[in-house]
Chains A and B, each alone.
With several copies, the nearest count.
Chain A
Amino acid sequence: MSDDKPEQPANITESLFEAPPMAEQERMIEAILFATNTPQTKLQIENRMPHGSDVAEAITRLRKRYDGRGVNLVRVGEAWAFRTAADLGFLMQKEQVETRKLSRAAIETLAIIAYHQPVTRAEIEEIRGVSVSSGTIDMLMELDWIKLGRRRMTPGRPVTFIVTQVFLDHFGLENARDLPGVKELRDAGLLDNRPPPGALQIPSDDPDRAEEQDDMFG
């Protein structure tokens, strides 16, 4: 230090070390803002930086440096933080599509609603012969394939379920009434005579059995 330079008497701790060059200050702030887990105010940054640093100037330069990059230095209230560029947000959320088969309970419940709508839960249970879990109903609701219909005007005013437009679109139907009836299904050979797994074992050696029974009890 030459004595002809009119130096102001600086604070001792400050004058002990000279502030690093601006490029180095920039590096430092870059590292601080990268590593901290909250946006940092100018004061917070200054507290970490060597004395004499020009934080405001370094931030301005750093901000310009990241201008148009994949990561930007943004102002969050009174603080600063790095954020990925808003236009690249789509890269962050990776979509993964998984195709799953509907459970037997779900497809049966859905079929009953489609064929019998509007139908109450009790009716679905009567037709299926087993209780219907809320999970199944919830899942079908979430898929937006069924929705609540009007309440039934019977004691307890139970809710009914009906199928949605999304359902019709998904299954390529114009109308739920377009669904083929049991007779058509049988004629088309879609009626599977094998007993469903887990159901009562019905002797399968008699393909006409169903009709016979109808005969007998009809």
Chain B
Amino acid sequence: MVEQTSPDGTDAVLDATQARIASEALLIDVDGYEGPLDLLLTLARTQKVDLRKISVLALAEQYLSFVDRAKTLRIELAADYLVMAAWLAFLKSRLLLPVDPQEDGPSGEELAAHLAFQLERLEAMRRAAAKLMARDQLGRDFFARGLPEDTGVKKTVVYKATVLDLMQAYARLKTKDSFAPLHYAERDSVLTMEQALERMKSLMGHALEWSDLSQFLPDGWSDDPKKRRSATAASFAAALELVKNGSLEIRQSDTFAPIELRKKGI
């Protein structure tokens, strides 16, 4: 402001000196900056003007000279600082050269305005952050109840079951019961497959011709229907077993026709 408009230029020289000192200080702890925008904000502050009135052109020059100095001092700058330098060089050329109406894209002024906006916004957020942290804080300035009382939710689970559920569960179990092999109470009316197989093997030698399966049932097992059913099933299963090992042949001429057996290899 005053410095920049000073007619004799001494203030400007003074300012430039200060800027140089500042930029040297910046170089020393370049690591302390959080990226190019942070650095730009710091440089902008050396202009000592409201960020809204910042000269973006001057800022671009400040930044570029900073990067140049870093190069001469062989300070390695991170890539994003160099990207920003390239962009600012481009911005500078746009700001200095007369506007080419043929060229599309945003104008230098638009780009400069946006950069100024970014700097102003970053600064604003930093101030806001400081104000936020300066507020009274829970556990530091004000406190919650130190001795909270038990206010839990007592959950009571009520199990729903009706007498119908109970009966159905029992019925299910009892039905399953009747299939359970452990509960074959009267085993005397059951011919096991082992017994049938034994018997079949001993009789097989006589089955030189096709003979009905019923002829192979044990004596006394053909009259009682329960016994006959069990003996028939067991003998049939035994016959299939013997067919499988190749010592017997089996045939049935039609559905429900008699099942006939004979010894194989005759």
Q: Do chains A and B touch in the complex (CB under 8 A)?
A: yes
Residues of A at the B interface (CB closer than 8 Å) are: 31-32, 34-39, 81-86, 88-89, 92-102, 104-108, 110-112, 114-115, 126-130, 143, 169-173, 179-182, 185-186, 188, 190-194, 196-200, 202, 210, 213-218
- By the criterion CB–CB under 8 Å, are A210 and B175 in contact? yes
Q: How far is the CA of A7 from the CA of B137 in the complex (A)?
A: 42
The answer on a CB contact under 8 Å between B36 and A129 is yes
Instruction: State whether B149 touches A92 (Cβ < 8 A).
Output: yes
Given the complex of chains A and B, what is the CA–CA distance between A89 and B136 in angstroms?
9
User: B residues near A, CB below 8 A?
Assistant: 34-38, 105-106, 110-111, 113-114, 117-118, 120-122, 124-129, 131-133, 135-180, 182, 184-186, 190, 226, 229-230
The winner among A101, A110, A129 for most chain B CB atoms within 10 A is A129
A32 and B163 alpha carbons, distance in the complex (Å): 42
Whole-angstrom CA separation of A34 from B157 in the bound complex:
29
When chains A and B are docked, how far (Å) is the Cα of A93 from the Cα of B161? 27
Instruction: Kindly list 5 other residue pairs between chains A and B, CB separation below 8 angstroms, not including A94-B154, A95-B146.
Output: A35-B151, A37-B148, A108-B170, A197-B106, A217-B190
Closest Cβ of chain A to B103, distance in Å, is: 12
Q: Per a CB cutoff under 8 Å, which of B111, B161, B178 touches A110?
A: B161
Q: B158 — which chain A residues lie within 8 A by C-beta?
A: 97-100
- B248 to A: closest C-beta gap in Å: 26
Q: How many A-B residue pairs have CB under 8 A?
A: 273
The 3 A-B residue pairs whose C-beta atoms are closest, nearest first, are A129-B37, A111-B129, A197-B106
In the bound complex, residues from chain A placing their C-beta under 8 Å from that of B184 are 217
Docked pose: A188 CA to B163 CA in angstroms = 14
Contact B145 A36 (CB under 8 A): yes
A-B contact pairs, 29 of them (CB 8 A): A36-B148, A38-B147, A82-B145, A83-B142, A84-B143, A89-B141, A89-B143, A93-B152, A94-B154, A95-B143, A96-B139, A96-B140, A97-B157, A102-B159, A104-B34, A110-B132, A112-B170, A114-B170, A115-B170, A128-B35, A129-B118, A130-B34, A171-B137, A179-B128, A179-B170, A182-B174, A185-B168, A185-B170, A217-B184
In the complex, what's the smallest C-beta–C-beta distance from A214 to chain B, in angstroms? 6
Complexed CA–CA distance, A183 and B179 (Å): 17
Q: How far is the CB of B85 from chain A (nearest CB, A)?
A: 14
Q: Can you name the residue of chain B whose Cβ is closest to the Cβ of A97?
A: B139
Using A127-B173, A171-B132, A217-B186 as known contacts, say yes or no to A192 and B139 having CB atoms under 8 A apart.
Answer: no
Are B140 and A108 in contact (CB-based, < 8 A)?
A: no
Closest CB-CB distance, B81 to chain A, in whole Å?
11
A36-B151 contact, Cβ under 8 Å, with A83-B144, A130-B34, A185-B128? yes
Residues of A within 8 A of B155 (CB): 96, 98
Known contacts A128-B122, A213-B179, A215-B226; is A93 also within 8 Å of B154 by CB? yes
Which residues of chain B are near A93, meaning CB under 8 Å? Answer: 150-154
Say whether A34 contacts B161, CB under 8 Å.
no
B129 pairs with A171, CB closer than 8 A:
no
Rounded to whole angstroms, the CA-CA distance of A190 and B125 in the bound complex is 9
Given A111-B129, A112-B125, do A171 and B135 touch, yes or no (CB 8 Å)? yes
Nearest-neighbor residue (CB-CB) of A88 within chain B: B142
Q: What's the nearest-Cβ distance from chain A to residue B258, in Å?
A: 22
Q: Tell whether, in the assembled complex, residue B106 and residue A198 are in contact, meaning their CB atoms are under 8 Å apart.
A: yes
A143–B137 CA distance with the chains assembled, in angstroms: 14
Q: In the complex, what's the smallest C-beta–C-beta distance from A145 to chain B, in angstroms?
A: 9
